[in-house]
């Protein structure tokens, strides 16, 4: 689909879409070739800061270690809108053979954060040149989204005290939606992620004599199966939760029953209450099954990502801006939530806001999923995302 922007600025004589696209592709390809992982984004942050300053935007760096905040004030409007992009890559070896493929071993933009960063830079360029709003825009470039640490690092570093915002918006590319589609929903759009470690301490021995050991491996199997009853028997069927045991590690051998077993995994849900229910039930199940089998148990449960919960009014602002940019037929107003997690959730626990999906699937091509070693951001949606952000600012900071 070759998407025609409803807000094609060529018609206004202010900005040539093709020129903007060339610039955004250049920025995106540079970022793709120079990926940096969580809290390592010094080069990316420097590039972002330099690019923003070239537009006449005020810049502060080192927010939450490697975060960047740009501030653009136009007119005398008092409202402040925040726009956010994530900058970090993941630790993965790229296998794409693109001419701008990663130049750093075991580092790759396999989730599209290079595209998100270029998109927000594009929005900054549009807004700084058009100046067709009245108020203040904060361009927030966040580090360490992948491990779920960057938003909290920026918040703890005084993000909202130093750079007050009335509302905040973010986006993520989504390969399962057609290119240029903008999808959103009120309420939970992405789940929380909690991690757990269950350590079972028994008494190992020879595989031929199970009667004289305290077998943590059999106990681990009981626990793994029992944990699935939490969702099926403790969660209301109309609510959503996931419990996944993803790793099991032991100190045994093919002819030796182990003394210790470690189970690792994560859980997903959409409310703090559900997260607390899962944690409480998991701990009780692990404790009592171990007690029944004569084993010791250590249970660790950590809250990594907050759920991303869109505010009702802000969803409506997003829908209006999206329709103005891509047309009503390319806007999904009540998309299904995903069980994936997004670090943006912590931001809109502090201020009203909304997170959206920007479709990236190319016509006639099989979508390459996020976090795949051949993933590449679709350059055709860069201008769409930038224009969407710019339109959202104009909608919220109307020039009187």
Q: Is the domain of 224 the same as that of 356?
A: no
Does residue 379 share a domain with residue 260?
no
Domain assignment of residue 222, yes or no: yes
**pTM above threshold 0.85:** yes
Query: Is 86 marked active-site?
Result: no
Residue 324 above 50 pLDDT? yes
125 and 229 in a single domain? The answer is no
- Residues 349, 345: Cα–Cα separation, whole Å: 6
Consult the annotation and say whether 146 binds a ligand.
yes
Same domain flag for 54 and 83: yes
Which CATH number covers residue 232? 3.30.70.360
Question: Has residue 3 been placed in a domain?
Answer: no
The reply to whether 88 belongs to the active site is yes
Confidence of residue 15 (pLDDT cuts 50, 70, 90): low
Distance CA 313, CA 389 (A): 17
301: left (phi over 0), alpha (psi -120 to 50) or beta: beta
Whether 75 and 135 have beta carbons less than 8 Å apart is answered as yes
Task: Clarify whether residues 143 and 260 are in a common domain.
Answer: no
Q: Inform me whether the pLDDT recorded for 138 exceeds 50.
A: yes
Position 400 scores a pLDDT of: 58
Q: Say if residues 21 and 28 touch (Cβ distance below 8 Å).
A: no
Domain match, 209 and 182 both: no
Whether 163 and 35 share a structural domain: yes
Stated as kind and residue range, the H or E segment containing 188 is strand 187-190
Domain match, 359 and 345 both: yes
Which CATH number is 382's domain given? 3.40.630.10
Q: What total number of domains does the chain contain? A: 2
Please identify which of the residues 41, 145, 167, 387 carries the catalytic annotation.
145
Can you say how many angstroms the Cα of residue 364 is from the centroid of all Cα atoms in its chain?
Answer: 27
pLDDT in tens, 88-114: 999 999 999 999 999 999 999 999 999
pLDDT at 14: 42
pLDDT bin (cut points 50, 70, 90) of residue 4 is: very low
Residue 348 lies in a domain: yes
Residues 41 and 132 in one domain: yes
Nearest to 188 by CA among 304, 351, 336, 390: 336
Alpha carbon 346 to its chain centroid, in Å, reads 11
Residues 238 and 290 in one domain: yes
- Please report whether residue 1 resides in a domain: no
Q: Which of 36, 88, 215, 266 is catalytic?
A: 88
Q: Exposure of 113 by Cβ count < 10 A (0-12 exposed, 13-18 middle, 19+ buried)? A: buried
> Do the domain assignments include residue 141?
yes
- Pick the last residue of a domain from 253, 284, 305: 305
- What lies within 8 Å, CB to CB, of 148 at 6+ separation is 193, 304, 305, 341, 343
User: Can you tell me the distance from the alpha carbon of 337 to that of 61, in angstroms, rounded to the nearest whole number?
Assistant: 33
Report the half-sphere exposure of 314 (CA within 13 A, side-chain side).
20
Specify the higher pLDDT residue, 9 or 77.
77
Domain-terminating residue out of 244, 270, 305 = 305
Rounded Cα gap, residues 376 and 369, in angstroms: 10
Range of the domain at 18: 9-190+307-396
Strand order in the sheet with 135-142: 58-63, 67-74, 135-142, 80-86, 167-178, 353-361, 182-183, 331-332
332 part of a folded domain: yes
Q: Rounded mean pLDDT of 34-46? A: 98
Structure tokens that stand for 80 in this block: 């402040």
185-205, pLDDT tens digit by residue? 999 999 999 999 999 999 999
Question: Is position 172 annotated in a ligand binding site?
Answer: yes
Choosing from 305, 337, 354, the residue where a domain stops is 305
The pLDDT of 360-387, averaged and rounded, is 96
* Residue 166 resides in a domain: yes
Residue 278 lies in a domain: yes
Pure H helices in the chain: 17-33, 42-54, 113-130, 150-156, 159-162, 216-234, 272-293, 312-326, 382-396
Q: Are residues 167 and 316 in the same domain?
A: yes
Instruction: Tell whether residue 371 is among the known ligand binding residues.
Output: yes
19 and 149 both lie in a single domain: yes
């Amino acid at each position: 689909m070759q998407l025609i922007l409803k807000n094609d600025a060529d018609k206004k004589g202010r900005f040539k879409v093709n020129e903007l696209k060339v610039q955004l592709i250049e920025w995106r390809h540079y970022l793709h070739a120079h990926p940096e992982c969580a809290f390592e984004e010094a080069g990316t942050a420097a590039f972002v800061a330099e690019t923003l300053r070239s537009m006449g935007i005020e810049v502060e760096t080192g927010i939450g270690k490697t975060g960047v905040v740009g501030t653009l004030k136009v007119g005398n409007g008092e409202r402040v809108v925040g726009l956010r992009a994530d900058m970090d890559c993941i630790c993965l070896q790229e296998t794409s053979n693109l001419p701008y493929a990663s130049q750093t071993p075991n580092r790759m933009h396999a989730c599209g954060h290079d595209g998100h960063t270029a998109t927000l830079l594009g929005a900054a360029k549009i807004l700084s040149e058009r100046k067709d709003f009245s108020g203040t825009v904060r361009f927030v470039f966040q580090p360490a989204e992948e491990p779920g640490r960057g938003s909290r690092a920026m918040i703890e570093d005084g993000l909202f005290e130093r750079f007050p915002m009335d509302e905040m918006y973010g986006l993520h590319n989504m390969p399962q939606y057609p290119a240029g589609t903008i999808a959103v929903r009120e309420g939970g759009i992405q789940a929380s992620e909690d991690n757990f470690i269950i350590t079972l301490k028994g008494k190992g021995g020879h595989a031929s004599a199970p009667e004289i050991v305290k077998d943590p491996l059999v106990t681990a199997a009981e626990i793994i199966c029992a944990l699935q009853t939490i969702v099926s028997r403790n969660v209301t069927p109309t609510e959503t939760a996931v419990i996944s045991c993803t790793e099991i590690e032991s100190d045994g051998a093919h002819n030796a029953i182990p003394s210790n077993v470690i189970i690792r995994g994560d859980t997903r849900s959409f409310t703090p209450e559900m997260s607390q229910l899962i944690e409480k039930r998991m701990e009780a199940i692990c404790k009592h099954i171990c007690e029944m089998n004569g084993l010791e148990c250590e249970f660790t449960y950590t809250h990594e990502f907050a759920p991303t919960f869109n505010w009702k009014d802000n969803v409506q602002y997003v829908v209006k801006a999206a329709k103005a940019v891509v047309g009503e037929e390319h806007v999904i107003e009540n998309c299904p939530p995903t069980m994936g997690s997004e670090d943006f959730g912590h931001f809109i626990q502090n201020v009203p806001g909304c997170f959206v999906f920007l479709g990236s699937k190319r016509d006639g091509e099989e979508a390459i999923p996020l976090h795949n070693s051949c993933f590449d951001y679709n350059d055709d949606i860069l201008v769409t995302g930038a224009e969407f952000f710019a339109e959202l600012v104009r909608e919220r900071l109307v020039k009187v």
